[in-house]
């Protein structure tokens, strides 16, 4: 497996936040492990973290830094925006949640009225149960990605209009 040094990702702090995020995403889209970056509205780096091929584990202190900030990460296996991703954006009250793969970028922006965290959590619990059952039965990454795509599609469809999720 190729190595990836998260500290080598260039951060041009002179760039406005939208361009900074795109510059980071171009560099992490081909990383062999999941990596994430969190910025404040002024483009100041608050957190960077690397994980495994399909997950990143955060400490409570790291999670406490997320609300109202801009979070971007990659999916090295090429999977789409997942139900877990949607739930993560809601649960941590992110201003913006971004996902990059080698082929696409997904962006969830918090609605002006805020995330409807309670409704998302309830919807995720019902979908996640089915997703976990399906993954346990099939037990491979390709099936996991397909199941995640189905859950994400359902979540986004059900949450977009009533709860104001904006996909950019």
Torsion of CA 78, 29, 87, 46, to 10 degrees: 160
Kindly report the three-state secondary structure assignment for every residue of 68-130: CCEEEEECCCCCCCCHHHHHHHHHCCCCEEEEECCCCEEEEECCCCCCCHHHHHHHHHHHHHH
Q: What is the pTM of this model?
A: 0.77
pLDDT at 137: 47
93 vs 91: CA distance, rounded Å: 6
pLDDT at 73: 97
Task: Give per-10-residue mean pLDDT for the chain (168 aa).
Answer: 85 96 96 97 97 94 97 91 82 93 87 77 61 47 56 62 51
- Burial of 105 per CB tally in 10 Å (0-12, 13-18, 19+): middle
pLDDT at 21: 97
């Amino acid at each position: 497996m190729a190595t990836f040094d998260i500290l080598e990702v260039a951060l041009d702090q002179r760039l406005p936040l939208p361009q900074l995020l795109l510059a980071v995403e171009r560099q992490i889209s081909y990383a062999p492990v999941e990596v994430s970056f969190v910025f404040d509205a002024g483009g100041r780096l608050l957190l960077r973290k690397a994980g495994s091929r399909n997950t990143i584990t955060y400490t409570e202190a790291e999670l406490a830094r997320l609300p109202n900030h801009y979070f971007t990460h990659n999916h090295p296996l090429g999977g789409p925006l997942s139900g877990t991703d949607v739930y993560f954006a809601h649960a941590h009250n992110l201003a913006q949640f971004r996902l990059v793969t080698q082929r696409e970028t997904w962006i969830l922006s918090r609605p002006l009225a805020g995330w409807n965290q309670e409704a998302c959590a309830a919807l995720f619990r019902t979908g996640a149960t089915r997703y976990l059952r399906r993954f346990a039965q099939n037990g491979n990454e390709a099936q996991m990605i397909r199941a995640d795509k189905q859950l994400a599609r359902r979540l986004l469809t059900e949450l977009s209009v009533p709860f104001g999720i904006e996909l950019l």
